[in-house]
Structure 1
């Protein structure tokens, strides 16, 4: 197994910052199916802490259920000065209109400098609704957030297949952006940092939608993609669902997560949540093994922070070899069993 990487991370300060109108940074927190704070949330908090310090305001972590309050210590360690839980029976079960209405109710009272959400399934769902309610601009799926000389938000977005990065400014206040998980560096948490925990009851209209049933389309026997140290990526070169199953068995042997190109998810071979690239997720594994992946820029732009890339493809001219540190020009179906056997013997 790979040893965990040692990162040189920016430390979180232990001092608690005072709230100031027009200078506070709000970060909307998300939890996974098991009630844990997502890595994407911790990435947003890490950047939000840096922004709040430069702006001279506080960072406020916002959530909609008790799970966020239960993780107040973790949120504080990543820079939150205040943990704000919005409470109403209609918010116990997620609806996009409920989330948007609840946050909209408190924005005018607190006047934050900016609101940051994850560009996740939920963030993309209700974030634009919040912006519409407030009449605000929203930069979607940003890959970084910076400040200019006038302390305005600069949201960076890839364009032209990831070949350039465009700075996007907002003319409305508070400024809003959704940020892609996996692109921001985690800070070094501070165990000494503490946050004020507040619960605010908001009035929310009866929801127009309700959850009837929830089920996961992900293979829960595989390591989650978020924050994985080893990731095995599949392209259309694996041939179809049978090839996907063989690659998944290989990933289990390595204790790895699995991802895919857009063409693979378009075919329905794996869930859309595993798509990596320009219109998918960004990842930062220590080891990425690409199997049957062509290596088009709209996929490899999601691999910019991958440390070592190994590519297996029978086409010697495949673009993936330009990104790979190690390339194997071979039929993956012949190479993979040998690799799997070698790893099994090594990991015993």
Structure 2
């Protein structure tokens, strides 16, 4: 096992997989664009548990910039509560021309019906061309409620966006088990779609850009439901999955919760996030929020370790943009080896502690 771990380390060094990626990205437009009803693209921006703008939101801002280059409108960043306004500099740097911060006591607590009501009033007033949401737990919750209120079509979990020859928004979605990508067209306006995090290119920000911030105080009905209590089921000691450079994936081959704790030790050594296959989350071994694949999240780490993962198409779709993939499995015929750049055939429980020890000694990932 030690020799295999050393060979793995040397191979990763040779592939530059241990160094941060340096990629050339498209830059957002430097000039501030003027709003044009029917031409503007709205991005519903989200914050994470730490109060930071999510990577998915920044990806959507980047995508919105590409769309308005053809449409001629502006990019709006819409957020709730009004504290989103303190991120104005960041949102502007990624292409927001105008920021709408919704301010209302009912929006201080998450309530999907209330958000849908507030957004419905705004959308009807401003008539944007499109409203794009993150395909997150919350986006999937209040987005359909808004679409129902406005009687609009909504394409969920898109992996790409483009305009057709007539200037209509085409949302791209995997179909037939991920074997094809289907173009989806909605004939209602504004166009609506939820888009997965990790599938859109992140633009190169321009720190000198500015954006006007408008505080919107909507008239809202009292919320019909309230969250009485909540708790996090994610391990706070593990790196967040969104935007992680290194990710350790856990499959059914680890055998159960005890095996997962062993794999998490490798994640700590690599300073990596963890994710799981659908079968692992179906068994309740790990939270659904960490599921990667066709029916879960899409990730693009520079280095991905697949531990005990067979390589089902559902999961492979979620890691198709990963850089270097290292697979560890005791089944040499496992499909994951067809996708892997580096494969280790052997007992994961024997190999992963040695790999973790080696990386701790080298202190390099």
Q: When the two structures are superposed, what TM-score results if normalisation uses the length of structure 2?
A: 0.94
Q: Does 1:250 align with 2:266?
A: yes
Q: Does 1:86 align with 2:102?
A: yes
Q: CA RMSD in A?
A: 1.0
Structure 2 counterpart of 1:8: 24
Q: Which residue, 39, 48, 57 being the options, matches 2:73?
A: 57
**Which whole-Å CA distance do the structure 1 matches of 2:349 and 2:184 have between them?**
45
**Which whole-Å CA distance do the structure 2 matches of 1:133 and 1:89 have between them?**
22
**Which whole-Å CA distance do the structure 1 matches of 2:172 and 2:79 have between them?**
25
**Which whole-Å CA distance do the structure 2 matches of 1:34 and 1:303 have between them?**
26
**Which whole-Å CA distance do the structure 2 matches of 1:261 and 1:159 have between them?**
19
Structure 1 counterpart of 2:89: 73
Structure 1 counterpart of 2:114: 98
Deviation readout 1:244-293 (Å, 9 max, x if unpaired): 00000110011000000000001111111100000000000000000000
In the alignment of these two chains, the number of paired residues is: 348
**Which whole-Å CA distance do the structure 2 matches of 1:4 and 1:185 have between them?**
17
Structure 1 segments (4+ residues) deviating >4 Å: none
Shift of 1:221: 0.4
**Which whole-Å CA distance do the structure 1 matches of 2:80 and 2:238 have between them?**
29
Deviation readout 1:57-104 (Å, 9 max, x if unpaired): 000000111331000000000000000011221111110000100000
Q: Which residue, 251, 255, 268 being the options, matches 1:239?
A: 255
Structure 1 counterpart of 2:13: none
**Which whole-Å CA distance do the structure 2 matches of 1:67 and 1:246 have between them?**
40
Q: Does 1:165 align with 2:188?
A: no
Contact 2:83 2:101 in 1 (8 A): no
Structure 1: segments with no counterpart, 5+ residues: none
**Which whole-Å CA distance do the structure 2 matches of 1:2 and 1:65 have between them?**
39
Shift of 1:52: 1.4
**Which whole-Å CA distance do the structure 1 matches of 2:111 and 2:203 have between them?**
31
Q: Which residue, 290, 307, 310 being the options, matches 2:323?
A: 307
**Which whole-Å CA distance do the structure 2 matches of 1:3 and 1:313 have between them?**
25
Contact 1:235 1:260 in 2 (8 A): yes
Q: When the two structures are superposed, what TM-score results if normalisation uses the length of structure 1?
A: 0.98
SS in 1 for 2:138: helix
Trace 1:129-148 onto structure 2 (pairs within 5 A).
129-148=145-164
Deviation readout 1:170-222 (Å, 9 max, x if unpaired): 11010000001111110000112110100111111100111111211101101
